[in-house]
Amino acid sequence: MKNVIKLLLLSPIAFTSVGCNKPEPKPVDVVLISGQSNAVGCTRASAIKDWPNGTSKFYEYCEGFPDIQIAFDSWTKDVQNDGSPIFYSQNKSKDETFFKVMLGQGNSTSNFGPEIGIAEELHEKYANKLFLIKYACGASNLKDDWTKRDSPMYGRFINYVKKQIQNLKDMGYIPTIKAFCWMQGEGDSYDGYYQVYYDNLKEFVTNVRSDLKELSGNVDMPFIDAGINNSPQWQYYRKVNEAKQQFAEESPNNFYIDTIGAGLHTNQEPKGDVDTAHYDSESQLLLGKLFARQFEQFLTKPEEK
């Protein structure tokens, strides 16, 4: 009987001791995605079924990549009758926190963005070690919406990133932002906008690097910029892409992805009603892979974790 009493007395102490052993915080890498509608993702997920053996890929992407998670908030810009801009949220991650990468994380639950290609490219090597934060706005332009710290989208973007970094910390991680992927410029491919794209891009990236410096290991955050497509809708696409290339050449931490040279296209989908503003499904997938191949060099290698 005495032994039983001793065990009962010791049990709460033992349980309390075990409960105090919290797991060590785990370092993880974070990559940001931002821009306008091709960053948001306006590509029809259903179009994947038209690929050779596309049905199996469609259901694979529907199931998603549980070992790569994303927090996303997708906006769209519109104009009121008086010409003033409004922004409305169309699609965001559940509970405003992280969830596995899967189809339906674009501007609606029927569409997808570059996150699918990123996850497919890297999920095996960086399983549970890489998180994505996407904050983007369709129809936005750099000049009016992003450049200045008091621009309509800039403050929201920075605050969202900081909120999700804190979410990761609350989940028991030590997050570090390793790269920033930017898919934007279509909204600036017009007279009065393309002429100042280089200056605006330089100011925007300088602000982002400064405001998120502590979260990126106090280094200049690698900036990976994708060129815009040559759709007839973008009158001065060459000028915008030239400004992007000029900026990329100015720092070893600036990078430019030649999406036209890589063969990305907008002239095939949806069938019967082609949307020339947004990447076709194969091209959207490739965009994500191109981003991933560029920023992988900055990720913590698996053996270093």
Contact 248, 266 (CB under 8 A): no
**Thinking of the domain 24-299, which architecture would CATH place it in?**
3-Layer(aba) Sandwich (3.40)
Nearest to 153 by CA among 36, 258, 235, 66: 36
List, for residues 118-153, the tens digit of each pLDDT value: 999 999 999 999 999 999 999 999 999 999 999 999
Question: How high is the pLDDT of residue 79?
Answer: 86
- Tell me the DSSP string of 190-248: STTTGGGHHHHHHHHHHHHHHHTGGGGTTS---EEEEPPP--TT-TTHHHHHHHHHHHH
Read off the pTM. 0.92
Residues 175 and 234: their CA atoms lie apart, in Å, by 37
For residue 21, what pLDDT band results from cuts at 50, 70 and 90?
low
DSSP 8-state class, residue 290: H
Nearest to 27 by CA among 173, 130, 160, 172: 173
List, for residues 90-109, the tens digit of each pLDDT value: 899 988 899 999 999 999 99
Contact 291, 223 (CB under 8 A): no
Contact 103, 116 (CB under 8 A): yes
List, for residues 27-50, the tens digit of each pLDDT value: 999 999 999 999 999 999 999 999
pLDDT at 245 over 70: yes
Contact 209, 203 (CB under 8 A): no
For residue 9, what pLDDT band results from cuts at 50, 70 and 90?
very low
